Structure 1
Amino acid sequence: MATTPVAINNEKIPLLSSLSSNGNVPAWKAIQKEICSKQQRIWAVTLFSVMAASTSLLAGYTLAYPSWAILDLRGLGDARSFKHNKLMEGLFGAMSPIGAVFGGLIAGWSADCIGRKPSLLLTAVPSTIGWSAIGATYFIENKLAFDAVILIGRFLTGFGIGWSMFCAPVYIAEVSSPALRGLFSSLPLFVMNIGILLVYSLGMVSFIKFYHTAFIAAIISVIIFLATIIMPESPRFLIMKKNTAKAMRVIKQLRGPRGNVNEEFEEISYAVAMQSDLSFCQVIKKFKQRQVWLPFVLLMFIMFFRQFSGINALIFYADPILKKAGLKHVKFIALMTVGVAEVVLTFVSILVVDLFGRKILLVVSALIMSISSGGLGVSSYFDNDCMPCPSMNYLMIASLALFIIGVSIGFDSIPYILIPELIPLDVRGALGGILSAFHWLCAVFVAGLYLLCAGFDGAITWWTFAFFNLASFAFVAAFLPETKGKKLESVGRELSPQRYRLCS
């Protein structure tokens, strides 16, 4: 097979058949070939992807923690109680997303400078310190010190999840093969939902208090750190840092001795050769190129729409939402149902994301969320009316269930898959970190918006989410390109003026 680059329209393109997408081969056949091929070492990619994704367990744990920990903190029988302190409740919920903003900013720099694997390992440091601090607050009797330490702990745990939630999908995308990249890249969000379910499960145990769960999280963080030490570095990062011998060994480890090791090495090397390490000023200059600014703008909208769908409002404040739905006396069972449903449906989503593609799942997800959030708005409106209708509780429960289905099949996991797929390698760290920080900044705003608005008019809040979900449906359908089954090195050419079309 020829590998020498040739000039086509003044653009050097290598003659590698696999540099393009799978052509006219149906997605299910490409996936079947990948799984059944004796040349591919699927177990190695699966193992390292699961290890990288395990860092996201504490992301779900951190985000869902306030949903029942606040109830425990309200029950403290002294001045430290949150019972009449709405400001502390709001700050307790918001500090983790605020920390995640800064974690997302440093994630891009660390991924490009010290590597994908070291970055994932280092995320355990703020997480362990933060959870240990939250657990230690039980032994702090001074209210001012208690409030300060618990908020610092929440900030550090958020810093860790903002860091890991960017680095894990990038690492997984760079070690995966194109046919199964969507499946493996969805694992961090799947594991995150397991973390949410874990918190809800611990909340059902009467003798477990907020500080117990904090120490449990600190122990989990240490275990994850020890488990991820054996992961290899991403071959793309190694080639980018001129460590070609080690990169070749890693590719052999991932693909097996009978895999197309030389071909993959040449593809990555060619893509890296066309790029270079860039300073911040050079990244700004590079932003003028269509293949850089277009995917960045597209992903900014996707991240915006993900947060303004209402997804994290549901995670942060599941308890009051379920109480309003008439599930006050079985709230922990209801929380468990929400957690189990998200895990199961996200698992289904990661199985079909490489079959149906990213775009169609996002379109369906946005449509379902727009309908269900509209239903939540209607039920909230009648619940606040002078003559409330108890039957609206059924509409709220049905809308809530439909919303969970909509979130899980698309917007829960796919946005983070798209960052390493659409952003070019040489600016992936810098722009990906900005996207991650923007995503969490939107989460802070949405959490505050829900806390402020839901208290006096929940209907308007959910109708606002419905509007944004409808807008995201139109945006994805019109502007987002499909990346299913395409090599990371070839996706950029899909955004050229000759190939990129609306509604494609």
Structure 2
Amino acid sequence: MAITDIENGDNKSPEDLKEPFIVNTSRNVNSSQETDQNGTIKMALLSTAVAVCGSTEFGACVGFSAPTQLAICQDLNLSVAEFSLFGSIITIGAMIGAVTSGRIADTIGRKGSMALSAVICIAGWLAIFMAMGSVLLDTGRFFTGYGIGIFTFVVPVYIAEISPKELRGGLTTLNQFMIVTGSSISFLLGTVVSWRTLAITTGLAPCILLIAGLFFIPESPRWLAKVGRKVEFENSLRKLRGEKANITVEAKEIQETILTLQSLPKARLLDLFEPQYIKPVIISVGLMICQQSGGINGIGFYASETFIFAGLKSGKSGTIAYALIQIPITIVGMVLLDKSGRRVLLLVSSFGTCLGCFITGTAFFFKGQGILLEWVPFLAVSGVLLFIAFFSVGMGAIPWLIMSEIFPLHIKGAAGSLVCIVNWLGAWVVSYSFNFLINWSPAGTFWLFAGFGVLNIIFVAKLVPETKGKSLEEIQASL
């Protein structure tokens, strides 16, 4: 996933928005000016709660295919190839949505973009609900993909732009947390309701809540300042900080930052191949390949079918366990991020995902050889759960964070474009090919992912720097 630069429309990663503005100024603001605000964070919290409905929608979309595969294939008589296209076409829509999202958000605003994305997702879910064949089913899946592609940009951007600086990091991490939550909800409900009911409930509910909530929250003050709507900018900032808050200093900083960003040169993709950017490009692109080559989108999209292959009667128990483990482990990863460091977590995450795939592959090997058959379901489910636990703790979010830290401000937009293409293309390759691979050889498929896991460990150990506790300028200078 990638998102677009807040101020100039170029692409950058979601975690970049934890520190979206770097302002060099000789003016010192004393602590009493910063703390004596008499403000409130209630509106900022409400606005964040509304925005992360889009994150929940994202999770609901990507989690839809896993618990519904068998039922959809039976009801609509889909072949393996047809369901693979349905499962993976969401990544094509998301790629297009992510690439175009910056221009959309700059044209109609952050609230307008979220509303548009919600409407597109609603249209997609209705198409899926009414589908009687693969054409309408795939069309709906593509539309939901395009909608969440916009959400991947606009949700973290909006949260970063409306948050008080001391809360920005914490509120922005809610985006990733709610994506996982939405995915888990789809997994859980998909085990007890039909796929059409899942589409019309889990799919539509976050969008409806989002659209309703948009009537009660302000537009991003930074976007309003950028487009020259000064009165609305001040009203929005005052609403977010409280009627009694002193917004003079923050308003001035925002306006100065916008002028600074607008004065920077606009980078192109070709600029990334200049000598000073080669190493950051290799690290960023390499981490995205590591993230996708481990098999996350194949394992996640088709978890239920994997459990059935392993010998479980319905796959529901494994799917429920998969859903329940994601949320607490994601919280653990959020807590450890600034304590243990990025590089350490990536190494641990890569080792754990490799081990999980190896165990699952071994379980399928035992099944193929007719040995230890009573252990096969347990080993397969344990391996998949181990994989998703270790993926959630590091490899899921950290590649985006490191990407946002290692590029200078003016080049991050072009870097985000490249990383977005690599990431979503990898997601499509894995999600489309997974069903074919597992039908060819379940053991071979997971051992292949385990082999990529070994390469990921080597890549992180050799090339990825530790960025914990360093300023962005220090990180970039070291590269």
TM > 0.5 between the two? yes
Matched, 1:318 2:294: no
Matched, 1:62 2:61: yes
The equivalent of 2:474 in structure 1 is 494
Matched, 1:128 2:131: no
Distance 1:291 1:240 in 2: 31
Distance 1:258 1:425 in 2: 34
Q: CA deviation at 1:127?
A: 0.5
Amino acid at match of 1:163: I
Q: Could you tell me which of 152, 162, 175 is aligned with 1:175?
A: 162
Residues 278-330 of structure 1 deviation map (CA, whole Å, 9 limit, x = unaligned): 898x545765778977656543333322222222222111012212344325x
Amino acid at match of 1:50: A
Q: Could you tell me which of 135, 150, 156 is aligned with 1:163?
A: 150
Q: CA deviation at 1:450?
A: 1.9
Amino acid at match of 2:61: T
Bigger shift: 419-428 or 408-417?
Answer: 419-428
Pairing 1:77-226 to 2, within 5 Å after superposition: 80-82=76-78, 85-137=79-131, 140=132, 146-176=133-163, 180-205=167-192, 208-216=193-201, 217-226=203-212
Q: CA deviation at 1:130?
A: 0.8
The equivalent of 1:368 in structure 2 is 352
C-alpha change, 1:484 and 1:443, in structure 2 (3 Å) is same
Q: Contact conserved, 1:382 with 1:392, CA < 8 A, in 2? A: yes
The equivalent of 1:338 in structure 2 is 322
Classify the secondary structure of the residue corresponding to 2:216: coil
C-alpha change, 1:263 and 1:370, in structure 2 (3 Å) is farther
The equivalent of 1:377 in structure 2 is 361
Classify the secondary structure of the residue corresponding to 1:75: helix
The equivalent of 2:429 in structure 1 is 445
Q: Contact conserved, 2:312 with 2:377, CA < 8 A, in 1? A: no
Q: Contact conserved, 2:326 with 2:392, CA < 8 A, in 1? A: yes
The equivalent of 2:16 in structure 1 is none
> CA RMSD for the aligned pairs?
3.6
Pairing 1:67-78 to 2, within 5 Å after superposition: 67-76=66-75
Higher helix share: 2
Q: Contact conserved, 1:278 with 1:427, CA < 8 A, in 2? A: no
Q: CA deviation at 1:263?
A: 4.4
What is the TM-score with the length of structure 1 in the denominator?
0.77
Distance 2:444 2:119 in 1: 41
The equivalent of 2:384 in structure 1 is 400
Classify the secondary structure of the residue corresponding to 1:193: helix
Bigger shift: 372-381 or 348-357?
Answer: 348-357
Q: CA deviation at 1:71?
A: 1.9
Q: Contact conserved, 1:162 with 1:437, CA < 8 A, in 2? A: no
Distance 2:261 2:271 in 1: 11
Distance 1:128 1:89 in 2: 21
Q: Contact conserved, 1:67 with 1:315, CA < 8 A, in 2? A: yes
C-alpha change, 1:361 and 1:260, in structure 2 (3 Å) is farther
Matched, 1:241 2:227: yes
Amino acid at match of 2:153: F
Q: CA deviation at 1:164?
A: 0.8
Q: CA deviation at 1:364?
A: 2.7
Structure 1 gaps, min length 5:
1-11, 19-33, 141-145
Classify the secondary structure of the residue corresponding to 1:123: helix
Distance 2:227 2:248 in 1: 18
C-alpha change, 1:397 and 1:334, in structure 2 (3 Å) is closer
C-alpha change, 1:277 and 1:14, in structure 2 (3 Å) is closer
Amino acid at match of 1:494: E
C-alpha change, 1:185 and 1:474, in structure 2 (3 Å) is farther
Amino acid at match of 2:77: S
Q: Contact conserved, 2:73 with 2:83, CA < 8 A, in 1? A: no
Distance 1:269 1:363 in 2: 41
Q: CA deviation at 1:65?
A: 1.6
Distance 2:235 2:404 in 1: 23
Distance 1:114 1:93 in 2: 31
Q: Could you tell me which of 386, 394, 397 is aligned with 1:410?
A: 394
Q: Contact conserved, 2:91 with 2:428, CA < 8 A, in 1? A: yes
Q: CA deviation at 1:154?
A: 1.0
Distance 2:414 2:217 in 1: 23
C-alpha change, 1:59 and 1:299, in structure 2 (3 Å) is same
Pairing 1:48-59 to 2, within 5 Å after superposition: 48-59=47-58
C-alpha change, 1:400 and 1:288, in structure 2 (3 Å) is closer
Pairing 1:274-289 to 2, within 5 Å after superposition: 274-276=260-262, 283-284=268-269, 287=272
Classify the secondary structure of the residue corresponding to 1:15: coil
Q: Contact conserved, 2:218 with 2:240, CA < 8 A, in 1? A: no
Q: Contact conserved, 1:310 with 1:446, CA < 8 A, in 2? A: yes
Q: CA deviation at 1:250?
A: 4.0
Q: Contact conserved, 2:326 with 2:388, CA < 8 A, in 1? A: yes
Distance 2:405 2:251 in 1: 18
Amino acid at match of 1:465: F
Q: CA deviation at 1:464?
A: 3.0
Q: CA deviation at 1:452?
A: 2.2
The equivalent of 2:4 in structure 1 is none
Classify the secondary structure of the residue corresponding to 1:362: helix
Residues 260-289 of structure 1 deviation map (CA, whole Å, 9 limit, x = unaligned): 844444444444333328898x54576577
Structure 2 gaps, min length 5:
1-22
Between the two proteins, what is the percent identity of the paired residues?
A: 29
